[in-house]
Structure 1
């Protein structure tokens, strides 16, 4: 089985690089037409078809990864953060392929494929070993609930890409009008949010490559009925500790840039030995995100939205608006079945109740209500264009917080999806 799992991992890596190559080819198709001696439309069509072919090959290899890992691990690979995010990246490519075959918009690949690349890189941050299923996951509902929820979310990702492109295409970045400047700022905030995820991935891999590690222990008294005992827990930091766990002891500390000890400890209300580590990760993500954003601004010498906007010249914004709406219209019923209805049935089977206000359940409901409001406003109130696009962008940011923030920051019954 180890040989099959190694083959599976190799397919994942090759698929990742094929997606990177497809992204470059999509960029050549869109940006290179300006310098092509041939007819720009012919250039776009030729390189767009090549890029789509490469991305499709990557999807075939990622499907190979998925099924060989399933065969080698003995259960469907969606039970932890690495497996779920890998599956989500694959479903984003499936959704992209479906939408691309319908609309044939090459520009969509320039924004949708990077979402897959970022999600795959994010997945690789987590432990990749095949882990045995905990009792609550040993159910056929795992296949139904998780896969359908991810399938719905993948179409939301395509809607995000199309909606964000619409905003880049229609916001007037040269205007000094108050309303236009507000739109410009919000577009920049979306760029910064994406950069935060990228900077987190870069930071984790950089310190992992450097072999960084610091260790803390925390001792707590526990017990009942007058009997108490001391329990010592250990936590490993893979990023330099700016913040230490509350009331903890340093077991080993690796200095970094002159820091020989944490700057401060986590506040007492951050319960748990891992709370300080999570807080430390958030701080590092923000710091590295600001640095990366600053570097990109220096390179572009202008706001990122203004720098990206010219590449969408000639694209019909109505097509982008239509793609965003259709993607949500496809994804919403799938998400409703997977993330709510089947999830509640499984909760009844596993825990004896349909609903328990677990953080993941609450945020899944928030996602569902958000996209319900999107469809209501779109169909009943006539919200189209910029209003609709902003909702598709904000909706996917809510989805990503549900997948990332709730799993890794907020404790709950779904914490098994995270990592130590």
Structure 2
């Protein structure tokens, strides 16, 4: 039996079950207004179906995780594909735990999209099982990564509840400056999510079309004695190049909308690994996300938050704040153990130092300090309501930059995670 093939099949089953669960939760939120039954009956019925599908999907996800572990010979958390799929599984676990505590069906309509987006994002990266590099061949890989990701998963559920709270309490009838500012930033939060979805749409669309472009980049190195040496490296693009690598020439370029070469060259000061390609990806994410957002606005004829808001009027915002706070309170000690304490123990074993100011270490510390401030301000300073919700939203954006930005943009000892 090929365990890796079985693992991949289980992964696809989990993905489709998550999509079906999200649809069920969406019907529970929006469809209750179209039902002849009491709103509570309709919400509970479709919510229970969605939760059941989510649990079965999580079991299939667990099957993917353990069969891939058995087939590859190591825990599948060693690269971006494996880590993002594990994070999606951890978010589902956190959602199930929080749901069993609060029995809030509506939370699934915001938590499931996060899982689906992360799984789709993971699929952008190579999925082939590869042997562990020596730096990762340690029992601390299992302990450090799994606990850190579990803590981040509870932060994600806290983010989902906080975003629901912000959309719930925003007042679309206010015309004063404060009211407009609240609507703008709430809508901007949805726009950021749509930009990520736009990135996925662009990647899979051009991948399906078989688009490729290749550049030969010359890297000049100056030795201590003043002599110069050149090294040429091929940089392959999966999206039409709007930005080409610095000091490069095209090798292969499929024409797109009449373009026969990239119109912009990456600036020389942006000298990270594949910096031009990454800047190109950022531009395509913004362009695709903006186009998708514009299409949704054209269909809705109003702000997207205004479309969602009426479906949340039956929910007590204080309940959402309580869910967000409790999720973060659960995740914080788990994250502290995994991302800081266990990480420092592993760093001492692997690199003979507990702390080295590596970019990933720094941003893990930033995340810890931010959520420490969140808990302190909420418990000691009485920061509740929208202020607490905004902190939960911003905190998860810090988490996502730690996961994505540091791994893929900033070079460091953890760069292997982005391969």
TM class by smaller structure: over 0.9
The question of whether the paired residues in 1 share the 8 Å contact of 2:221 and 2:229 is answered with yes
Deviation at 1:273, TM superposition (A): 5.6
> 2: distance between equivalents of 1:245 and 1:224?
23
The question of whether the paired residues in 1 share the 8 Å contact of 2:95 and 2:157 is answered with yes
Describe the SS at the equivalent of 1:219. strand
The question of whether the paired residues in 1 share the 8 Å contact of 2:159 and 2:396 is answered with yes
Deviation at 1:230, TM superposition (A): 3.2
Task: Show structure 2 runs of 5+ residues with no match.
Answer: none
Q: Deviations over 1:139-196 (max 9, x none)?
A: 1110011000000000000000100111111111221121111111110110111011
**Which residue does 1:335 correspond to in 2?**
335
**Which residue does 1:351 correspond to in 2?**
351
> 2: distance between equivalents of 1:132 and 1:188?
43
The question of whether the paired residues in 1 share the 8 Å contact of 2:110 and 2:160 is answered with yes
> 2: distance between equivalents of 1:265 and 1:33?
52
> 1: distance between equivalents of 2:300 and 2:367?
34
**Which residue does 1:274 correspond to in 2?**
274
Describe the SS at the equivalent of 2:410. coil
Q: Residues 92 and 219 (structure 1 numbering): CA distance in 2 closer, same or farther, change over 3 Å?
A: same
> 2: distance between equivalents of 1:225 and 1:379?
56
> 1: distance between equivalents of 2:256 and 2:132?
38
**Which residue does 1:187 correspond to in 2?**
186
**Which residue does 2:206 correspond to in 1?**
207
What TM-score, normalized to structure 1?
0.97
The question of whether the paired residues in 2 share the 8 Å contact of 1:218 and 1:273 is answered with no
**Which residue does 1:326 correspond to in 2?**
326
1:226-375 counterparts in 2 under 5 A? Answer: 229-272=229-272, 274-375=274-375
Q: Residues 54 and 219 (structure 1 numbering): CA distance in 2 closer, same or farther, change over 3 Å?
A: same
The question of whether the paired residues in 2 share the 8 Å contact of 1:217 and 1:248 is answered with yes
**Which residue does 2:112 correspond to in 1?**
113
The question of whether the paired residues in 2 share the 8 Å contact of 1:245 and 1:277 is answered with yes
Stretch deviating more after TM superposition (253-262 or 350-359): 350-359
**Which residue does 1:161 correspond to in 2?**
160
The question of whether the paired residues in 2 share the 8 Å contact of 1:233 and 1:273 is answered with no
Q: Is 1:52 the equivalent of 2:51? A: yes
Stretch deviating more after TM superposition (14-23 or 211-220): 211-220
Q: How many residue pairs get matched?
A: 418
Describe the SS at the equivalent of 1:314. coil
The question of whether the paired residues in 2 share the 8 Å contact of 1:234 and 1:273 is answered with no
Describe the SS at the equivalent of 2:416. helix
**Which residue does 2:31 correspond to in 1?**
32
Describe the SS at the equivalent of 1:251. strand
Deviation at 1:53, TM superposition (A): 0.5
What TM-score, normalized to structure 2?
0.97
Q: Deviations over 1:57-81 (max 9, x none)?
A: 0000000000000000100000000
The question of whether the paired residues in 2 share the 8 Å contact of 1:244 and 1:266 is answered with yes
Deviation at 1:264, TM superposition (A): 1.6
What is the RMSD computed on CA atoms of the aligned residues? 1.3
> 2: distance between equivalents of 1:43 and 1:281?
42
> 1: distance between equivalents of 2:175 and 2:219?
58
Describe the SS at the equivalent of 1:75. coil
**Which residue does 1:145 correspond to in 2?**
144
Deviation at 1:257, TM superposition (A): 0.6
Describe the SS at the equivalent of 2:13. helix
Q: Is 1:104 the equivalent of 2:103? A: yes
Q: Deviations over 1:299-337 (max 9, x none)?
A: 111111111111101111111010000000000000000
The question of whether the paired residues in 2 share the 8 Å contact of 1:407 and 1:418 is answered with yes
Q: Residues 26 and 273 (structure 1 numbering): CA distance in 2 closer, same or farther, change over 3 Å?
A: closer
Q: Deviations over 1:109-166 (max 9, x none)?
A: 1101111011101101100001111111111110011000000000000000100111
> 2: distance between equivalents of 1:405 and 1:230?
29
> 2: distance between equivalents of 1:290 and 1:223?
42
> 2: distance between equivalents of 1:225 and 1:263?
35
> 2: distance between equivalents of 1:37 and 1:137?
57
